[in-house]
Amino acid sequence: MIYISIYAIIGVLVMAKGPIYLPDSYTFVDMAFNHSPAYCIFLKIFTSTFGAYFELPVVITQYLIIAFGIHFFVKTLKRLFHIHKVGILIIQLICLAPCVYVHNLGSAILSEALTYPIFLVIFALTLRMFVEENLKYLYKISILLFVLILTRGQFLALIAALILIVSYIIFKKKSFVNQFYFLAILIVIPILTSFTERVYNKIVFGHFENNAMNYVHFIASPFYIANESDINLFTNNDEKVYFNLIYSSLKEAKLTRNQNISIGQDDYLFYQYNFPEICNRRIYDLGLDYYEAKGLNFIEQNIALNTLCSKMIGPLIKQNFMTWLKVFSKNLTNSFGSSKQMLFFFVLLFYGLFNLIKSNKNIYKFIIIATLFMLANNTLIALVIHSIKRYIFYFDWVIFATFIILLNEIFKNQKLSES
């Protein structure tokens, strides 16, 4: 009864807040180019059905989906670990917290409202697959992962973790010949999502292209650490002109790493704080202006800019590799919270791996999945963009859930020894 009441209370709080619009919200509603299709289509269904009154139905539906995802996740943990009801309530509350605190997922018109519950369901199904060593769960996981990636591309990172887990199960069952196709399914997912995204963009915008912001984000840190002499890396006229345009603008605004190192600022924290000014206001906006002057329309500008950035990333990283690696390392560390927290999660991963070899307990499989998923996600985020909370909050429950499950195991063992 308390369990259901918590969902009801949080639901009332979400409804009371009403729809919350953030800068990205309007672009999702407008189905703007460069946005992953799933959430745009989700909103389009509501705007087409309810017109100007779509907001409340969206908020209600989002919260119901979130509640289902959390319920499925918590129910899976309860069934596998026989967690005490107090522990279950704590995990439920921690998972529900993003609905009304900081992120306001239930009310926010943002794709995270869908990716959060889908991710929790995928985690629960992966845990079941690992515990039962039943690869048939991968069919459901793959369908959900396909939708998840089309909602937020960062979850491509989960494929690497899933390949490791599936490979372990296949190796343990000594069934590579009969079950290698499960690995093939995972490898095909990025191809299918890319093709689907292209088809969507062809239907909606008339261009058979992937979303054109990936490399624009990726090149932000290479531009931030670049030196003025790096213009000599490029021979193509567009590349030379564009490099000079962006570097000059960054230098004029005092947004280069060299300028801030000289006055004693932390290079990564400065980069994180000024990422919108570096990437959005300069690399992106000035790039669009450059191609607009060449007579391209908005969509053509995006495609051309993304293509140009994709060619320039390699030379810039190679030229300043050690500096880029330092910024990436700090970005990755920040995604975990601090160097101590990152060390903690690495220790936790090795603890789970070491003990899994010795015993086949479910707790170690839980730890391995949680830390592998977290490491994969955070690494991809650190490579491409700045590691702010919006991209990494999906794992805020990991420490609490791990602690509760470990405590639960200790109490169960004590009861067994006393009986």
For 181-199, what is each residue's pLDDT tens digit? 999 999 999 999 999 999 9
Residues 124-153: tens digit of each pLDDT: 999 999 999 999 999 999 999 999 999 999
pLDDT of residue 174: 83
pLDDT class of 351 with cuts at 50, 70, 90: very high
Sequence-separated (6 or more) residues with CB below 8 Å from residue 121: 69, 72, 73, 144
pTM: 0.95
pLDDT of residue 78: 95
The closest alpha carbon to 210, from 196, 227, 228, belongs to 196
What pLDDT is recorded for position 216? 94
Q: What is the mean pLDDT of residues 346-351?
A: 96
pLDDT at 411: 74
pLDDT at 263 over 90: no
Reported as a single tens digit per residue, the pLDDT across 84-114 is: 899 999 999 999 999 998 889 999 999 999 9
- pLDDT score for 373: 98
Give the Cα separation of 219 and 311 in Å (integer).
10
Task: Provide the pLDDT for residue 368.
Answer: 97
Looking at per-residue pLDDT, the higher value among 409 and 345 belongs to 345
Structure tokens at 100: 């009304």
